[in-house]
Amino acid sequence: MKKFTLTTILFLLSNLTSIAQISVSPEAQLTYNTHSDQFFLLDDSTFYWTQKPGSKRWVKHPYVYAEKEAFSEVIARTRVLAMSKGRYYFVHESCGNVYELYRDTLKRIDESFPHRNQYGAPMFAWNNSVFMFGGYGFFQVKNVFTRYVPQAKEWFEVNVKSTEMPSPRSAPLFLLDKDQFYLIGGMNRNHLADEYLRDCWKYNCRLKRWEKLGEMHEKLFQQYNLMNLNMNLPNGVLRMSNRLIEMNIDKNTWSAYENPMVLNMTKITSSKDNKYLMYILSNSNNQGYRVQVRDFESLKEFKIGEYPIYQKISILKLFPKEDYLWISLILNFFLFTLLFYIRRMHKLNFLQRSQKKLRKSDFTVSEWEVMCMIQAQGEMELSALNEYFNEEGLSFETLKKRRETFVKNIRIKIALITRKPIEEILQETKHSVDKRMKIIHWNEDIELDFESESSEH
């Protein structure tokens, strides 16, 4: 009896360890099992690890790999899903092969084949079945909705009861909340270019109905292509550069937290309510990888902000794209025609005025003052206008350019009103003593209308 007790204790001690991290390969499979409330890690053909969130203790479980295929190939092309307390499925990333880890044995359980038809499709488990939506395969992005039925050992297309469903897409953000599957954005390939989608959907697994929630919030849409998605697995927590992105679908919010350590994170999975995170951490040269589990709060060094995940779609976007394009073209045509007509009438009225005198209302205050000074003196040094444009720190070249532009505008306005050739208005000559200086001369046949000025006052 003592021998049995001692053997049992030694066995338990050999399977329990308090190490904070485990060295793994980049292909290590990790997930969180909601049925047993524990993290799951598999990277070896002879054992796997589990850890209760907050326990800081890994439990080592031996198992038998009962397949002829190379273990490394199976792990590299499958994704793990927790089906029940002690049951895990490893599903081919493109849909097809399904491997089951149950009762300490990992073996293939399907009678299908690698479909290679749904790469980048979100994958989730519900009611003992595996579901995949959309994905990319055979040079086309799809919106096929498939389901693996264990009793039949085959994949079938899901028959939904709603009239509308999401358009073709791959690599979307997605979340699973009990029996609600949320699909957010994604990518579609249009003419060999990636098109980022903004629409957000919810699928009720019990009612088999799709519901369009709205469109991705602008802030999230701007950051979407920068996020490191947990491909095929629910995206409760994501990495974006040196930030962790937390998704809260119940509150329709996402929050960003900054932490420099995040730069070296690869795969991330979170426990219930995102309280704990399990992630693979690489070193600076990506040569070594290790798994860690930490309280999410300890990783939230600095909160960047909190924003909505989705919002209601603008009423303008409810019209079909083709109709909206025609409406937009027609409205723009009428607006352009109206503006052209108003501008033309204004120009005709301007040119049809009396050409004998210049009115103050046709010029700016500065332009009128300068014209009065030039007319009063008959001529003026061009440099005398500097006081109208001089500012602290302004270079001589900039001052000269502003002065020349100012005089040019006056010439153009006078030419439009008097219909005189512009080159004959306010002519410039060189100073008789200092050739570097220019003199501007007033045209004797041009008059200023001071009477209209006084009547306006």
Residue-wise pLDDT for 40-80, tens only, equals: 999 999 999 999 999 999 999 999 999 999 999 999 999 99
Question: What pLDDT, on a 0 to 100 scale, did the predictor assign at position 404?
Answer: 84
| Residue whose token pair is 């690599």 | 171
CA dihedral sign of residues 416, 420, 421, 427 = negative
- The first and second tokens of residue 412, run together, are 């153009």
- The first and second tokens of residue 324, run together, are 């909206």
Fold of 353-456: Arc Repressor Mutant, subunit A (1.10.10)
What's at 207, amino acid-wise? L
- Res. 285: pLDDT tops 80: no
pLDDT tens digits for range 219-238: 999 888 888 777 667 878 99
As a whole number of Å, the end-to-end CA separation of the chain is 117
Helix, strand or coil, per DSSP, at residue 401 = helix
Confidence category of residue 136, pLDDT binned at 50, 70, 90: very high
Residue 153 half-sphere exposure toward CB, CA atoms < 13 A: 8
Same topology between domain 2-320 and domain 353-456? no
295-238-132-143 Cα dihedral, nearest 10 degrees: 160
State how far the Cα of 39 lies from the Cα of 296, in Å rounded to an integer.
14
Mean pLDDT of 233-257: 90
Contact of 102 with 35, CB cutoff 8 Å = no
pLDDT tens digits for range 400-438: 888 888 888 888 888 888 888 888 888 888 877 777 788
Contact of 99 with 106, CB cutoff 8 Å = yes
State how far the Cα of 234 lies from the Cα of 123, in Å rounded to an integer.
8
State how far the Cα of 428 lies from the Cα of 290, in Å rounded to an integer.
80
| Residue whose token pair is 């199976």 | 74
CA 75 centroid distance within chain:
31
Question: What pLDDT, on a 0 to 100 scale, did the predictor assign at position 314?
Answer: 66
- Res. 137: pLDDT tops 60: yes
Where is pLDDT greater, at 327 or 351? 327
Distances (CA, A) of 317 to 200, 298, 314, 322, 334: 14, 42, 5, 11, 22
pLDDT tens digits for range 154-182: 999 999 999 999 999 999 999 999 999 99
120: left (phi over 0), alpha (psi -120 to 50) or beta: left
- Res. 355: pLDDT tops 80: no
Percent of the chain whose pLDDT exceeds 90: 53
Superfamily of domain 2-320: Kelch-type beta propeller (2.120.10.80)
* Furthest CA-CA distance within the chain: 128
- DSSP 8-class letter at 437: S
- The first and second tokens of residue 122, run together, are 């979100």
- Res. 383: pLDDT tops 70: yes
Question: What pLDDT, on a 0 to 100 scale, did the predictor assign at position 119?
Answer: 94
pTM score: 0.67
- Using only C-alpha atoms, the chain has a radius of gyration, in whole angstroms, of 37
Task: Report DSSP letters for 162-200, one per residue.
Answer: SS--PPS-BS-EEEEETTEEEEEEEEEEETTEEEEEEEE
- The first and second tokens of residue 290, run together, are 């290790």
Q: What are the structural domain ranges in the chain?
A: 2-320, 353-456
